[in-house]
Structure 1
């Protein structure tokens, strides 16, 4: 075989987990769990609560489950702290996440009570502030009781005449107190504007129903923002090991992380564009890991067949998925191989050292390489990696190109074990 040899391949889940563990310098199970959480949270976002439960179930062990609990607690605390700030109330010190890891579990246990108390304080304060701002308008309303929204929507009462309904100010204040304290400024202003129009409406009872619906819509949006904040915080946590060295554009990676942090802090929405960017980063990492996993497998098998396998520096620096392969028994020839993780292909080309060519030696080296490659493909197939030859060229069908400025002695010095020289250390 001479010239270009292209072989397609498939990488199973175990190989991908191994590749992700190697690329991200983590245990394979943890690396696979993190990427699966990213996939789950982005693809199932429209079923938010199911996605959050599924993400928790993907945790690799109890440490991961605690980490996810900590993520949710931080988001809850941040939302409660923002609500207190919006209401002009002093912060609650207990909502500040601990720095020391041993204190995390205890802090997570106290957060629900602190958050509930903070929400009650903020809701009451915000409702009182709004009612005071509206008091002048409501005072202009002529006397006579008004029914509230629940009474308007309820069936006609049967039996004794009910007690008089509360005055308008009390009804409005009670409705405003049900507004989620995490509602943003736009929603609060919209609710207050609807409440203010009560003084100018003759059909005030029906308008109270409109106010109730506006409050519910604002609460629904606040709940969605909370779910988005938890989703963003969990994705951000799962992306912790992602680095530019994993083939990711550093500016894009930083921008996505900053945007997710904004969502987790309730300062922006989690839109489809951001989800697409996250999915793109995950796909890049998995593609790189798949190529690395296959490259490792190929390097191992060729090493077992007596080849020296090292990184290919022909493009100026070692690149993921590029190998330089030689055999001590054929020092005048080498093979350069490129793994294409996206198209699931492997491209190999044989070269000879610079100097006078020997067509017979070239043909012999190509024939030996083809035979060994067939054996390598068979061994990999036995290990669960299926290779499908796409293009095969018979030995001697074309001249073997020379590597300018490269002699056999230099080739022997630069060929080495791929695994030992081209793998990141795990932390």
Structure 2
């Protein structure tokens, strides 16, 4: 951008971690939250105190994520339970509030065996369902002589018990297609007459369960990836909003009027316009690119017409540069560090004229357009 500055942004770890925790907790307001001590130590230059506070934040954040994972597993098992119509107890999810990291970790440790037991019982329920269906429905779809090396011989009468034991290996959240494929093979047991035929069918059932579980694990992994993508997008938006809100607050406290969406007239595009009452002919256009970069440029609201206008331009540019450095220092105290990658010094180039001014007849026209924007 001409007549301006570009800077790369790096968020302090305390901010990143605490924004994540606040999203888990569903809290708004103070974005630095539990990371305030780490940020205070950072601002005061107390390295040891900062590291201790940051370690506490990391521990808390990890514990919260463990709780989120257990809550997701509880929800998935509850959905499976409803589909199967099973009477299986599940632990209640935990909605974290003010628990310590130790308390959250203890809850996870106590919940894990309950979830394992619930999954086992759901698998047993599914196995009992399929076994009952097999011996009340006619065999169809496959030949009984499925081949393969049979285990030690047993009588055909043992087949129902063996089938239920094998079926208990099928993951309870296997999809409908996977369960149907297993059931089709299992139904052949209803028509076998010898132990050898039963062993052949059971071997095919084992193979289909193995394939069904493989596909189920793949589906779980896809779900985990989607959840991770949503998590990353939500975190990026939280960081972007934190940077934009912090920049807005910093310049408002220095006496600037901050308006959002100066180009597209949308408040969420990361762009703002800075004005001051003593600047009738000047403004600063700023764009925040996520939480990684900020670009700013001073512009004129109307073309310069005299040398006096250009002298005022240089004065305004110097004032703006000083304000930008003051804002950088303030933002650093809030965990937003920035490194200037490009700068155009005051007076080097004539200020560009605002595109909005050319199109709407000046700032008054632009403000009129903002008032007409639907809410």
Same fold (TM over 0.5): yes
**Residue among 135, 139, 155 paired with 1:167:** 155
Distance 1:293 1:218 in 2: 49
Distance 1:79 1:332 in 2: 65
- The verdict on how the C-alpha distance between 1:319 and 1:81 changes in structure 2, with shifts beyond 3 A counting, is closer
SS of the residue corresponding to residue 317 of structure 1 reads coil
**Residue among 352, 373, 376 paired with 2:324:** 373
1:11 is displaced (CA, Å) by 1.2
Q: Deviations over 1:34-62 (max 9, x none)?
A: xxxxxxxxxxxxxxxxxxxx9x96438xx
1:211 aligns with 2:202: yes
1:339 is displaced (CA, Å) by 0.5
Distance 1:215 1:31 in 2: 53
Q: Could you say which residue in structure 2 is the equivalent of 1:347?
A: 295
**Residue among 325, 333, 343 paired with 2:282:** 333
Q: Could you say which residue in structure 2 is the equivalent of 1:130?
A: 134
SS of the residue corresponding to residue 59 of structure 1 reads helix
Q: Could you say which residue in structure 2 is the equivalent of 1:393?
A: 344
Q: Deviations over 1:370-395 (max 9, x none)?
A: 12212222332344322111111121
- Unaligned runs of 5+ residues in structure 2 are 33-58, 96-110, 371-375
Q: Is the 8 A contact 1:6 1:348 kept in 2?
A: yes
Superposed CA RMSD in Å reads 5.0
1:364 aligns with 2:315: yes
Q: Could you say which residue in structure 2 is the equivalent of 1:233?
A: none
- The verdict on how the C-alpha distance between 1:114 and 1:294 changes in structure 2, with shifts beyond 3 A counting, is closer
- Unaligned runs of 5+ residues in structure 1 are 33-53, 85-90, 102-107, 142-148, 153-164, 229-268, 416-427
1:72 is displaced (CA, Å) by 4.2
Distance 1:171 1:26 in 2: 55
Q: Is the 8 A contact 2:7 2:338 kept in 1?
A: yes
| Residue range with higher mean Cα deviation, 354-363 or 393-402 | 354-363
| Residue range with higher mean Cα deviation, 19-28 or 352-361 | 19-28
Q: Deviations over 1:308-360 (max 9, x none)?
A: 22213332332342111123333321001001126x11111111122554211
Q: Is the 8 A contact 2:282 2:301 kept in 1?
A: yes
Q: Could you say which residue in structure 2 is the equivalent of 1:296?
A: 245
1:167 is displaced (CA, Å) by 2.7
Instruction: Using structure 2 for the length normalisation, give the TM-score.
Output: 0.61
Q: Deviations over 1:264-284 (max 9, x none)?
A: xxxxx3464x65554444333
Q: Is the 8 A contact 1:21 1:30 kept in 2?
A: no
Distance 2:63 2:214 in 1: 24
Count of matched residue positions in the alignment of Structure 1 and Structure 2: 304
Q: Could you say which residue in structure 1 is the equivalent of 2:164?
A: 177
SS of the residue corresponding to residue 262 of structure 2 reads coil
Q: Is the 8 A contact 2:272 2:285 kept in 1?
A: yes
Distance 2:235 2:77 in 1: 31
- The verdict on how the C-alpha distance between 1:377 and 1:31 changes in structure 2, with shifts beyond 3 A counting, is closer
Instruction: Using structure 1 for the length normalisation, give the TM-score.
Output: 0.55
- The verdict on how the C-alpha distance between 1:413 and 1:21 changes in structure 2, with shifts beyond 3 A counting, is farther
SS of the residue corresponding to residue 127 of structure 1 reads helix
Q: Is the 8 A contact 1:2 1:366 kept in 2?
A: no
Give runs of aligned pairs for residues 9-408 of structure 1, distance below 5 A: 9-16=9-16, 26-27=26-27, 58-59=63-64, 72-83=73-84, 123-131=127-135, 133=137, 152=152, 167-168=155-156, 170-178=157-165, 179-180=167-168, 182=172, 184-193=179-188, 195=189, 204=196, 208=199, 211=202, 214-215=205-206, 218=209, 221-222=212-213, 225=216, 269-270=219-220, 272=222, 275-341=224-290, 344-354=292-302, 356-357=304-305, 358-403=309-354, 404=357, 405=360, 407=362
Q: Could you say which residue in structure 2 is the equivalent of 1:39?
A: none
Q: Is the 8 A contact 2:131 2:164 kept in 1?
A: yes
1:307 is displaced (CA, Å) by 2.1
